[in-house]
Amino acid sequence: MSKILAFTNQKGGVGKTTSVANVGAGLARAGYKVLLIDLDPQANLTRGLGLEAPEYNVYGALLQEYDLKAYPVQENLGLVAGAPALSSFEKVKGDELDREYLLKDLLEPLHARCDYILLDCPPALGLITLNAYACADTLYIPVEAQLYATDGLEKVLEMVARVQRRLNPGLKIGGIFFTRFDGRKVLRRETAELIREKYPTLVLTSTVREAISLGEAPHLGQDIFRYAPASPGATDYQALVQEILTR
């Protein structure tokens, strides 16, 4: 039975996609069978792993136009592509009775074949994200320690509480972790401290530092372990993978 981990934050640019790509690659390297699902209409994960305009994507599968298709990325790692058309999901499926469970149904047959399914959520708390929350076991929330970071965080946590009451009582928060962290900036350090004080049990030990190679790797369609195995980015994501596996 696979575990579904969703990476979510309604804010864009906080490192959701980067984390899905690199935590996924790290888990695959550790020998787990991993499937990544790109749920963002921007499809950055899909492009960042080197797949340009693939024929099959998660949107078509959600609309039952074809079966779910995973493209191989590397050993133990597959990707279900995202597509710009995902932005119509809410309009097209918003009136259906089981609209929050469409992704859950779609992933059901995969449980026997993967150890981990990682969901890259869009930067919004709409129907796609609700579908992710409704089927996830655990949520991870990347946060950039910046002004207003707590606003976004509070919205996510409110939504999680609502989902736990109805759609998915078993949903757990695996943790909040800092991304793009630059300890030289006082404001960032202070914001991180504030968040740690406010959510002492939720903040993970692992922090992903701001690192140029993490921004470069997707341009070559690579994860950080392949692109720059000795870089701080690889070290930080390796530590995050370990924490996710042991926490």
Ligand X SMILES: Nc1ncnc2c1ncn2[C@@H]1O[C@H](COP(=O)(O)OP(=O)(O)O)[C@@H](O)[C@H]1O
Rule CB under 6 A: which residues touch ligand X? Answer: 12-18, 44, 123, 179-180, 208, 210-211, 214-215, 218
For Mg ion, the closer CB: 16 or 188:
16
Both tokens of 55, joined, read: 């024929």
For Mg ion, the closer CB: 44 or 231:
44
Q: Which does 2 bind (CB under 5 to 8 A by kind): ligand X, Mg ion, none?
A: none
Q: Which does 211 bind (CB under 5 to 8 A by kind): ligand X, Mg ion, none?
A: ligand X
Q: Nearest to residue 21, comparing CAs of 41, 57, 40, 49? A: 49
Choose one: 17-25, 67-75, 164-172, 198-206; the region binding Mg ion (CB under 5 A).
Answer: 17-25
Contact between residue 70 and residue 35 where contact means Cβ atoms under 8 Å apart: yes
Contact between residue 152 and residue 9 where contact means Cβ atoms under 8 Å apart: yes
From 6, 10, 11, 16, residue interacting with Mg ion (rule: CB under 5 A) = 16
**Locus of tokens 């030990």:** 205
From 8, 9, 10, 17, residue interacting with Mg ion (rule: CB under 5 A) = 17
The distance from CA 69 to its chain's CA centroid, rounded to whole angstroms, is: 19
Q: Is the dihedral of CA 18, 20, 23, 28 positive or negative?
A: negative
Number of residues counted as binding Mg ion (CB under 5 A): 4
For ligand X, the closer CB: 12 or 221:
12
CB of 44 to ligand X, least distance (A): 5
CA distances from 12 to 134, 137, 232, 242 (A): 21, 23, 23, 25
Both tokens of 153, joined, read: 């965080």
Q: Which does 149 bind (CB under 5 to 8 A by kind): ligand X, Mg ion, none?
A: none
DSSP 51: -
Choose one: 9-17, 31-39, 139-147, 198-206; the region binding Mg ion (CB under 5 A).
Answer: 9-17
